[in-house]
Amino acid sequence: MKKIIKTTTGIYQGFEEHNHVNFLGVPFGYARRFKRAEEYYVDDPQKINLAVRPGIQPMQDNAFQNSDVRFGENCLNLDISTPDISGKFPIVIEFYGGGFLHGGNATKNMPWLDEQPIVHIMPNYRLGLFGWGKVTGGDTNVGLSDQLKSIEWVIDNATKFGGDVDNISLVGLSAGAKSIAALMASNSELLDKISKIVLFSGSFQTIRNLETAQNVTERFCKTNNISTDKDLLNLTDDGLLTVQRNTIGEHIATNWFGPIVDNDLISDNWLSVVAQRVQRTDFKSLIGAGSNEQAALNKFNLSRLKNNIVPDLFGKNADAVLKQLPSDGDQKTDLVRLIGEAMYSYPAFRSQKFLAENEAEVYGNYFTVLDGRHGGNIEYLNTPTHELNIEYRKNRKYYFQLIVDFLLNDKPYNDDIKYEWPLFDKNQLVMELDSNDLSSVSMINHQWIENMPWQNYKL
């Protein structure tokens, strides 16, 4: 099997694993502090570079730990797993989750994609202040530009690694899913090349206004006694990461960063942009979320949830969440479910409904597996078969196959599986996943949280 590819950013030699050829740490762009991704310059176009170890990972808290993993600001590289560089296979680009604060292609959310008849690609993008901060003198949506640059690289080089440029899907969990939603809402024409998106536990909810992004940056400066955000340009990478770490502390900062409405990459009318893209391209969507997304917050007491965590997660929108908390019963349990619904389940449903109303082909997923917690469906898919209860194994196999069929054939349908995943339409049918069953349920009578704007977090 051939293991050398010649790309626009150099020649790379990979290695064989799981009957695929893998290339690790292939550069797709160049990163400068607070600047959008730039073209990668090839020093020696004829040199064969080994692509057999993970590339530099984005700056994050783990950079302070002693490990063999390399971290740095110039982290714009991607990993490729292809069945055959001479083939023409569907391309799946996975963007990792991690609250826009953690993650990288050294650890994949969906490693099982490496073993399918697809080209699985996982790019890095910058995190936290490095990628999503609004800093005077810097660019907006730096992390989003990294993602766009990676998509551009994939389109330009698809034939070199055995990919079908006319069959590109974007898949993501959590911040990865939120990134994909923002990309589809962006003004970039590159996204017209995308045929399918898979959003698990994330959609359009982290697109925020410019004022919120500026206020987040001011918070970091104020906490660290930095007089002006311009001074962030002069810190070392460890120094900037320390500023970020000092400010976050014990806060739940999941929603502090994200794509920004800058009327450049993302416009005020981004919903119309999405609707227009549907009409132009007819891209298909599979969107899912859990029944109790924030179950992990059960470890905190009610007082901390109300007074600290809800403001951390929603900012000025905190009151809209707390006003809907029942006055009797188990308030802590109810609040945890309400937080999860406001952050993930309702935005997923709202996105399904919006896309369907604009005549898009949408498949909804509502999962209760693993308590319906955040990323529970992916954890279910990642669990080794021998660790699952025997009665769960067939169900997991079916769920897995339907997702793969969507990526391969545009529909989550398989002749060997009796269950047929319903289209989301005016009947609001979604596929409900629990540990031992796949079923179709209507969300029409579900009592969703009320008066929540598209933008979850606002300052």
**Alpha-carbon distance 235 to 162, whole Å?**
42
pLDDT of residue 68: 85
Cα–Cα distances (Å) from 158 to 23, 47, 336, 337, 389, in that order, read 14, 21, 44, 43, 40
**Alpha-carbon distance 66 to 117, whole Å?**
37
pLDDT of residue 407: 97
**Residue corresponding to tokens 């992004």:** 213
pLDDT tens digits, one per residue of 75-128? 999 999 999 999 999 999 999 999 999 999 998 889 999 999 999 999 999 999
Domain 4-442 has CATH 1.10.3720.10: no
Residue 217 and residue 136 in contact, taking contact as beta carbons nearer than 8 Å: no
pLDDT of residue 436: 86
pLDDT tens digits, one per residue of 278-319? 999 999 999 999 999 999 999 999 999 999 999 999 999 999
pLDDT of residue 364: 98
Across 315-425, the runs of DSSP E, i.e. the strands, are 361-367
User: Under 8 Å CB-to-CB from 165, ≥6 apart: which residues?
Assistant: 91, 155, 158, 159, 193
Residue 76 and residue 35 in contact, taking contact as beta carbons nearer than 8 Å: no
pLDDT band at 435 (very low <50, low <70, confident <90, very high): confident
Tell me the domain boundaries of the chain: 4-442
**Alpha-carbon distance 197 to 219, whole Å?**
34
Cα–Cα distances (Å) from 430 to 240, 295, 367, 421, in that order, read 44, 22, 10, 8
DSSP category for residue 68: S
The pTM of the full predicted model, rounded to 2 decimals, is: 0.96
